[in-house]
Amino acid sequence: MNADSASSTDALVRIRGLRTRLGAKVIFDGVDLDIPRGRITAIMGPSGTGKTTLLRHMTGQLVPDAGEIVVDGQNLAQLDRNGLFDLRERIGYLFQNSALLTDFSVFENVAFPLRQHARLPEELIRNIVLLKLQAVGLRGAADLMPAELSGGMARRVALARAIVRDPMLLIYDEPFVGLDPIALNQVLKLIRVLNATLGLTSIVVAHELSAVSRVADQIYLIAAGKIAAHGQPQELVRGETDWTRQFFGGEADGPVPFHYPARDYAADLGFTKGRA
Amino acid sequence: MTQRRSHQIGTGLFIVLGFTALGYLATQTTSLANYRQGPTYALKARFTNVGQLKLRAPVKIAGVRIGSVSDIQLEPDRLEALVTLAIDKRYDQLPDDSAAAVFTSGLLGDQYVALKPGGSPDMFKHGDEIILTQSSMQLEELIGKYLVGSGDSQTRKPAAEESPATPESANH
Amino acid sequence: MSDKPVRGSLIGDGLAQVGALALFLLQVLAALPRSLRHFTETIRQIFFVGAMSLIIIMTCGLFIGLVLGLQLYEVLSRFGSTASVGTVVAIALYRELGPVVTALLFAGRAGTSITAEIGLMRATDQLAAMEMMAVDPLAYVVAPRFLAGIIAMPLLASIFNALAIFGAHLVAVSWLGLDNGTFWSNMTGAVDVWTDVMNGVWKSAVFGGVVTLVATFQGYSTAPTSEGVAYATTRTVVYSSILTLAIDFLMTAFLM
Ligand SMILES: Nc1ncnc2c1ncn2[C@@H]1O[C@H](COP(=O)(O)OP(=O)(O)OP(=O)(O)O)[C@@H](O)[C@H]1O
Ligand SMILES: [Mg+2]
């Protein structure tokens, strides 16, 4: 624990000068970002701004055009496939769309990472899986197939799967989507408890400001390819800058564009200047 | 778990079925089927001409397979073909005056050795020689005979029995 | 005038496809040793691609046999050699019809479902999820299906052949009155284990690999949309059929 607090100042994930374009769109244009160890960091931003893309960069699923990404002291650009897989074994990742394996039951989905990487006795696997399912309130659903789950249930199963191996880094891409208030509270508590008891590091991408401000130690606000704001929830919510004021206030007008870049509206609808 | 198990059972059944089919095809529908025999005993027969007769060609009585050709050699002194037949032990009641002939199945089919049972009370024993033999009918010869309008029968007369050592000499 | 560049790009696209498929084959081969750790998955896939294809394979085999029996008996009776119905049926089946027809049926039955399944896994991020759980989809998803195809195909072709022989026997012997002993002894006299039966087995193992390789490749590289999956499924049938027949020709001409 002492070692933990001593090292909590250094970053588990360090990103410098990240630049990415997908298709014609510039997603990141010089992003610097630190995820401190043992903390919960929230990443927020308008829809389509590249939060999921950022998480894909951090886990080596997508290689950036430029920039350096260091996770747990390892530069992702220098890792081969095995090195990357070794790293990923210590990362739990909750996909935005759950991504459960459709031909396995809920139980087998959660057991999947265990079966693939550890030769554990069946008894132990069963206990671990049921424990994690209990934590997300779905122990009773262990025998259902993914197709029989609601969206919110699927997210909780995906969450159980992400935490089943007690990773060092937990990445949640929109964990609160589709959760009712009770489940949302449980998941919030789970995120906090996991972080506190296991000393792991968490990254949460979410849109729900109230929920985020209850768990996050710090927030990065990404907009227009840059870090628009960074700080503790209370500071950001107070709204010191135009960005934060608009984003957290939910206003349509401001520096954060609500619209995806497009041609002139009137022109798109077929009105020429003269006729309009 | 139970699903995984049923897949394993299904896969097992499928593989067993597949290999059974393959094994059946490989051993029962190919020349391997001719190898697969119980105990046999050998009979010898001399022919002036065995035509296209090959090793493992069937030996039949009344169209029923009773054995196969196990050896074909040229006898150096008489320049005749000495054919060894491996006859299934089950068929050990063959009269020792039975006749052997090389036939063709169909017009163009493979050749086989046909035995025609005689009436002798004594039976063939292992290593015996079949005295009465009839050589292969060559299509060319037949046509030739037909055109010439004559031809001596190739079947040896039972009289040849009197000189069993040189049955073939009586013929040509 | 303008169709020159189009033709050029068509050939270029075709070459690119073949190149991509060859590269994919190398990746799959490299993943094969690792996939042995997931051998239960291979067993599961043998069940899906093999056991689940049994019904169509058996029905089609039976009918092909019945038709072959009828046709050959009719044709051979013109030459007075109906005795060789069994021989001709067996040789045609073992050397060509069994492996090829089974491969085409297999492409339609198992190939399409492999493509659709993997394509859907791609579209729903299941492949990405595996990668994130440090499981290589090539070793866990693709290689077992590839192996299963190679293992299941010769067995399916053998079952197909057995039923076709049964069908031909049914027509020629039970129905048209050919002598049972003649049927079999002619066959056993002329069919060879190695040059006929086993050649067919090698062929169908290759076809099994070809079909599953094309199917997994199409699924793996599909556009992650329902339309993309639909196109990929069609391409699986078209490409694997063409490849099967082309490779059949090459193998027959140069190897056998
Ligand atoms: N394969 C791709 N090709 C081109 N553009 C892409 C591709 N994938 C994503 N994008 C674009 O990248 C941008 C960022 O996508 P991303 O999924 O990271 O957004 P996000 O911040 O997670 O949004 P949300 O909050 O809605 O989940 C989007 O504008 C999207 O159009
Ligand atoms: Mg996203």
pLDDT digits (tens, 9 = 90+) for C205-255: 999 999 999 999 999 999 988 899 999 999 999 999 999 999 999 999 987
Closest chain B residue to C39, measured at CA? B8
Whole-number Å distance between alpha carbons of A22 and C44: 38
Set of chain B residues whose Cβ sits within 8 Å of the Cβ of C97: none
Residue A273 has pLDDT above 90, yes or no: no
Checking A80-87 for CB contacts under 8 A at 24+ apart, the result is: A81/C136, A84/A60, A85/C134, A85/C136, A86/C134, A87/A60
| Per-residue tokens: B146 | 């037909």
Sorted by sequence, the CB contacts under 8 Å of residue B80 that are 6+ apart come out as B46, B47, B48, B74, B168
Burial A77-102 (b: 16+ CB within 10 A, else e): eeeeeeebbebbbebbbbbbbbbbbe
pLDDT at residue B155, as a whole number: 46
Record: contact B29-C156, CB cut-off 8 A: no
Model confidence band, residue A240 (pLDDT cutoffs 50, 70, 90): low
CA distance A263 to A48: 18
The three-state secondary structure class of A205 is: strand
**CB B170 within 8 Å of CB B163:** yes
Beta bridge partners of A42: A204, A219
Quote the pLDDT of residue B1. 53
pLDDT band, very low/low/confident/very high, at A238 (cuts 50, 70, 90): confident
Look at residue C58 and give its three-state secondary structure. helix
Average confidence (pLDDT) over C98-124:
95
Sole residue written with tokens 């000189």: B163
Segment of A149-158, A221-230, B161-170, C137-146 carrying the highest mean pLDDT: C137-146
> In chain A, whose CA is at the least distance from the CA of C135?
A116
Strand partners, A35: A13
**Distances in whole angstroms, Cα of residue A102 to Cα of each of A28, A148, B52, B159, C121:** 33, 10, 64, 87, 8
The yes-or-no verdict on residue C178 having pLDDT over 50 is yes
CB nearest C134 (choices: A88, A99, A100): A88
Do the chains contact at C188 and B33, CB–CB below 8 Å? yes
- B33 and C179: CB-CB below 8 Å? no
State how far the Cα of B32 lies from the Cα of B30, in Å rounded to an integer: 5
Is the distance from CB of C119 to CB of C228 less than 8 angstroms? yes
Q: State residue C95's pLDDT score.
A: 94
* Tokens found for residue B108: 């163009």
DSSP run (H or E) holding C94: none
φ and ψ at residue B75, rounded to 5 degrees: -80, 115
- Average pLDDT of span C56-78: 95
Q: Token pair for residue C148?
A: 């299963």
pLDDT of residue C7: 55
Kindly tell me if the per-residue pLDDT of A194 is higher than 50: yes
Report, as an integer, the average pLDDT of C43-67: 95
Helices C98-106 + C199-220 axis angle, to 10: 20
List b or e across B99-127, with b for residues whose CB sees 16 or more CB atoms inside 10 angstroms.
Answer: bbbbbbbbeebbbbbbbeebeeeeebeee
Percent of chain A whose pLDDT exceeds 70: 93
Domain boundaries defined on chain A: 99-165
For residue B35, CA distances in Å to A69, A159, A204 come to 71, 65, 74
Q: Which of A151-155, A254-258, C60-64, C148-152 is predicted least confidently?
A: A254-258
Q: Is C181's CB within 8 Å of B29's CB?
A: no
C-alpha closest to that of C240 among C206, C205, C215: C215
Give me the tens of pLDDT residue by residue for chain B, a chain 172 residues long: 567 788 889 999 999 999 999 999 998 888 787 666 678 899 999 998 888 888 778 888 887 888 888 889 998 888 899 999 999 888 888 898 899 998 886 666 678 899 999 888 989 989 899 988 888 777 667 777 777 765 454 444 444 444 444 444 444 4
> DSSP of B73-105, one letter per residue?
EEETTTTEEEEEEEEETT----BTT-EEEEEES
Share of chain C above pLDDT 70, in %: 96
Q: What is the ipTM of this complex?
A: 0.89
* Structure confidence by residue, pLDDT tens digits, A92-147: 999 988 899 998 999 999 999 998 888 889 999 999 999 999 988 899 999 999 99
Cα separation, B17 vs C251, whole angstroms: 27
Comparing alpha-carbon positions, the chain A residue that sits nearest to C125 is A99
Q: Which ligand is nearest to the CA of C224?
A: 1
Interchain contact B31–C (C-beta under 8 A): yes
- pTM of the full predicted structure? 0.80
CB-CB contact of C185 with C82 (8 Å): no
How many of the other CB atoms lie within 10 Å of CB of C218?
Answer: 30
Q: How far is CA A9 from CA A18, A31, A171, A219, B114, in A?
A: 22, 20, 19, 16, 99
